[in-house]
């Protein structure tokens, strides 16, 4: 009996120490893992935020560049026919869109839909206006009629998309 008592005197405190050390080490490892996870998350945010901002900037630039007024200012030349200008306008919108297609991964689905809708509306507007003109119309006539159509719109499609993207960026950054 005395031997059992002596064994218990030694093993019970040792067992308590082992259990205590096990809990302390377990908590330290969990805390260290949490701290590393937070550091990784912070590093990811530091890396992604500038890229995300750049994507929003590029989309705003894309929308500004495909607005009918901007397109006409950049593309229209006095010697162009309406058909040539129409072709150049549509080609430019498609090219700009393809160039910025990858930016959608940084945006919400709703924002990207607004961008796609703006592009689609601009293309339809250009096609509709070009379809109203006679075959021998000049590029100046197409330009004038296109600007008039845009001015008659309740809200310019690119402007609405820009406002939506800016609002989303504000929500994301706050």
pLDDT in tens, the chain (174 residues): 788 888 888 898 889 999 999 999 999 999 999 999 999 988 878 888 888 999 999 999 999 999 999 999 999 999 999 999 999 999 999 999 999 999 999 999 999 999 999 999 999 999 999 999 998 999 999 999 999 999 998 889 999 999 999 999 998 877
* Res 8: pLDDT: 83
Structure tokens at 117: 């809708």
Please give the pLDDT value at position 48: 82
Task: Give the count of beta carbons closer than 10 Å to the beta carbon of residue 44.
Answer: 10
* SS3 category, 74: helix
Neighbours of 76 (CB within 10 A): 17
**Extents of the domains making up the chain:** 49-173
- Cα 164 from Cα 132, distance rounded (Å): 31
CA proximity to 21, closest of 31, 29, 32: 29
Helix (H, G, I), strand (E, B) or coil at 165: helix
Closest by Cα among 159, 71, 172, 173 to 115: 159
**For residues 143 and 75, is the Cβ–Cβ distance under 8 A?**
no
Cα–Cα distance, 171 to 174 (Å, whole number)? 5
> What is the C-alpha separation between 36 and 42, in angstroms, rounded?
10
In the chain, how many H helices and how many E strands? 6, 0
C-alpha torsion 31→34→40→46, nearest 10: -100
């Amino acid at each position: 009996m005395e031997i059992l008592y002596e064994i218990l005197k030694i093993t019970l405190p040792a067992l308590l120490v082992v259990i205590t050390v096990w809990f302390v080490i377990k908590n330290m490892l969990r805390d260290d893992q949490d701290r590393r996870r937070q550091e990784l998350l912070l590093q990811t945010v530091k890396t992604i935020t500038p890229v995300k901002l750049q994507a929003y900037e590029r989309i705003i630039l894309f929308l500004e560049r495909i607005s009918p007024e901007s397109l006409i200012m950049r593309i229209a030349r006095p010697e162009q026919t309406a058909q040539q200008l129409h072709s150049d306008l549509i080609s430019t919108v498609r090219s700009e869109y393809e160039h910025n297609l990858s930016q959608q991964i940084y945006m919400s689905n709703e924002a990207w839909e607004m961008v796609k809708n703006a592009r689609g509306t601009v293309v339809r507007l250009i096609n509709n206006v070009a379809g109203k003109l006679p075959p021998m119309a000049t590029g100046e006539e197409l330009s004038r009629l296109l600007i008039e159509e845009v001015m008659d719109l309740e809200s310019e499609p690119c402007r609405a998309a820009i406002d939506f993207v800016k609002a989303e960026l504000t929500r994301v950054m706050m």
